[in-house]
Each structure stands twice: as structure tokens, then as C-alpha cells.
Amino acid sequence: MSIFFRMGIFLLFVAVLFTSCEEEFIPDIVEAEPDIVVEGYIEAGENANPPFVILTRSVPFFSEINTDEFNNLFVRDAIVTITEGDNEYELTEFCLDELTPEQQAQAAELFGLNPDSLEANFCVYLDFSFSLMGEVGKTYDLKIEAEGKTLTSSTTIPQHVPIDSLFLVDAPGVPNDTLRQMNAFIDDPAGAPNYYRYFSGVNDGPILPGFNSIVDDAFFDGLYFEFVLPKSEVNDPNVDIDPNTFGLYTVGDTATIKWCTVDKAHFDFWNTLEFNAANQGPFSSYTRIESNINGGLGIWGGYSVSYYTRVVD
């Protein structure tokens, strides 16, 4: 009897053994008290957005959410304050149904929403007075009082590292007269870790984070480094992604890049979240998303930002 024949019998035996031991597994769904989830930012730099905080409640993994249930996820009537030194600022709650159509369009642009599908009553805590704008090097403490809970966090806006140059090259693969790839150079400061995130938009569309939007300088510390800035795509499961055009810019469009420097806690949140999103499926490993919110989940992060506009040619 050859070794290959004996190995074949062994593998068949193992397959039958494992098949005979299969049992249907139905997980127990435990109803736990929802956590408050925070998504909040403060920016410094040119065209910086006013600070804002979005508060929602966590939902079980197997939940199905319709529009009414989505509306009920927002945490209302919270007291949200930001402290910098001896200065304290309280944010004001706004919801889309309280705004005029023109204001709704502005809000959709600010938060990267599709203005044609604003059926849900999106709510946010904002500083519309513009009395608080972020400054590089300063630390901003967040405090949230809501539903009998107190949540806290802190972020520092780091020194900005700008893009040194931005340029377009031919799309990879088969020559194409209508598509371009965008590349950039940065002069990364040596001796200390730096963390970057980017967003992009075209024409009058929203400025959205890239598919892999976050990176640190572990592999290019202190170098004059070239990298690709793929065009951001709308995260919509109903829209099919064309692999032939994914990440490429169309000739004639006006591209806008929002380039950000962030601190480590902000980097850790997006790095673990994007890694988890890119590794779904039955054979993927679980990745715990990092959070810097004490008493809840999510992120309170500072951005040091700059914007770049380029006509695609």
C-alpha cells in the first residue's frame, strides 16, 4: 500500500470524523445596557470646522435598524462641554428637522451626508458661535453628562506636517486618457512618531475619508516620502465598486484633499476600526477597536488640517 493511498484514507477518516461531530450553533443573545458612543472632533488650521460631537447608543450585533430606530439611537438633551485651560464652552444640540433646507445642505456637506437621503433626523452638538476654534499644541478636555452617565476624554492637537507637493500620474495598468492617480510627498520630521489621516472629494461632493485613511511614520520616519492618495468612495452597500476606476480621479474634475495630523490615541482608534472593517468574514480574527472615551465608547480627537485643490488633467 503506497504512502499516498494511506494518507488519502487518513484524510477521509478525519473529514468523516469532523462532519459527524458538527452541531448547529445558535449564539445566545444577551440584552445588555447600551453604551453611549461618542464621535467628536476639534480642528486647527485653514478652513477648520467648528468642534462638534455626535452621541448615539450602541446596538446589539444582530440588530436590524429602520429609520425610526435609527432616529432613536441619538442621545438627546445631553450637556456637552469642552474645556481648554480656564475656558469652558458648552455645545448646543441641533437636529436636521430644526434646520432650514439651506442649513440642512450645509450640514450634509460638513458631516459627509448624502443630501438626497436625509430621511433620518441626524442630531449633533455644535459650537455654531465659532467662539471655540482649535489651536495647535493645546489640549481640549471633553465632558458629557447624559442619561445619568458622565463621560470624559482629552485630546491634544499636534503640530501640523503639511503635504510638500501634490501631483498626478497616469493610472496604473492599461493606458487610459480619462483617469489619473494622485501622488504626494511629505517631509516627515525625524525623531518623534507622527500620525496622519486624509480625506478627499471631487467637485461639489462631500469630502470623505479614504478607504485606508490613517497611517503612521513607522516606515518613513524622517524621510522625504512619496505615497498614493486614492480618491475616497462613498461607503454605500447599494453602490457597486468598479475595480477598474476605484481610487482614481477623472480628468476634468476638481479634487480637494484634506490632510490631517493627529495624536496617537486618535490614530489608534481609526487604525483599529479600519483594520476591523477590512477584515470581515467567518475566518477573520476579532479586533477590539480602541477608544479614548472614559465611561463610553468612541473617539474625541484633534485634527491639525490643511486643504489642497487640484484640477485633474
Q: What is the pLDDT of residue 6?
A: 40
Q: What is the pLDDT of residue 285?
A: 60
Q: How confident is the model at residue 135 (pLDDT cuts 50, 70, 90)?
A: very high
The model's pLDDT over 7-29, given as tens digits with 9 standing for 90+, comes to 343 343 334 444 444 555 455 55
The answer, yes or no, to whether residue 62 has pLDDT greater than 90, is no
Q: Which domains does the chain have, with CATH numbers?
A: 36-156 (2.60.40), 163-288+303-311 (2.60.40)
The model's pLDDT over 240-287, given as tens digits with 9 standing for 90+, comes to 677 788 899 999 999 999 999 999 999 999 999 988 776 655 555 666
The model's pLDDT over 216-240, given as tens digits with 9 standing for 90+, comes to 999 999 999 999 999 998 765 556 6
The answer, yes or no, to whether residue 1 has pLDDT greater than 70, is no
Cα distance between residue 262 and residue 161, in whole Å? 10
pTM score above 0.85 = no
